[in-house]
Amino acid sequence: MQIHSAQFEISAPDLDSCPESDLPEFAFIGRSNVGKSSLINTLTNKHNLAMVSAKPGKTRLINFFRINQKWDLVDLPGYGYAKASGQTRNKFNVMVSDYLVKRDNLSCVFVLIDCRHEAQKLDLEFTAWLIEYQIPFVLVFTKTDKVKPTIVQKHIDYFKKAMSEFCDGLPRIYTCSAKTGTGRKEILQFIDQAVVN
């Protein structure tokens, strides 16, 4: 897929404030600092579409971007925002789970995982929750330029093994690097096919 246009549309603090739309939506989520903003910028070829912030958890709203006038890219707040208080964190969770469970035009969730670490409890819990609610998702292992391919594969295998404890089939898995552009083509191809169908 070629990206002809990518524009910021709106930020929503909750599900009720999300724009009415018939276009398919592809949501991106992961732990703070996983490389979500960098991947969004790489996918859309816009270096500041999602502000790359060194400060974890800067995005606290549901951000909508219209791509090619055909689909919406939805940037969800990072989970595991360590600096948020319990009450604030709870508000995030309600906002994100409401969106994921109730948004009719949500096509697929991209769950981003830092390939440098062994399977993290929070990521596994989140994927288990998506499965429980039958929300379609794929996994994207980020920052692959930072470690050797054998380490990336080892961590993917650990994650798959951990997931097999609570799910029958495994989700589609992508690897990416915002630095080298690895994985961009494959992820856009997946979205393209989903948009057409």
The span of 26-34, 93-101, 123-131, 186-194 binding ligand GDP (CB under 6 A) equals 26-34
Q: 197 CB contacts (<8 Å, ≥6 apart)?
A: none
Query: Kind of pairing, strands 137-142 and 106-114?
Result: parallel
**What number of residues does the chain have?**
197
Tell me the pairing of strands 137-142 and 173-175. Answer: parallel
Select 48 or 69, whichever has its Cβ closest to ligand GDP: 48
For ligand GDP, which is the closer residue by CB, 53 or 189? Answer: 53
Q: With binding defined as CB under 6 A, does residue 143 bind ligand GDP?
A: yes
Contact characters 115-134, ligand GDP, x per CB under 6 A: --------------------
Of residues 161-180, which lie at the interface with ligand GDP (CB under 6 A)? 177-179
Secondary structure class of 116 (helix, strand, coil):
coil
Nearest distance from residue 140's CB to ligand GDP, in Å? Answer: 11
Say whether residue 52 binds ligand GDP (CB under 6 A).
Answer: yes
Q: How many CB atoms lie within 10 A of CB 186?
A: 13
Given a contact cutoff of 8 angstroms between Cβ atoms, the answer to whether 190 and 197 are in contact is no
For 103, the 3-state DSSP assignment is: coil
Query: Counting contacts by CB under 6 A, is residue 38 touching ligand GDP?
Result: yes
Q: DSSP letter at 15? A: G
Give the residue with the Cβ less far from ligand GDP, 60 or 70: 60
Check binding of 148 to ligand GDP (CB under 6 A): no
Site residues (CB under 6 A) for ligand GDP, limited to 67-106:
78
Neighbouring C-beta atoms of residue 112, cutoff 10 Å: 25
Cβ proximity of 109 and 119 under 8 Å: no
Does 109 bind ligand GDP (CB under 6 A)? Our answer is no
Q: Where do contacts with ligand GDP occur on this chain (CB under 6 A)?
A: 30, 32-38, 52-54, 56, 78, 142-143, 145-146, 177-179
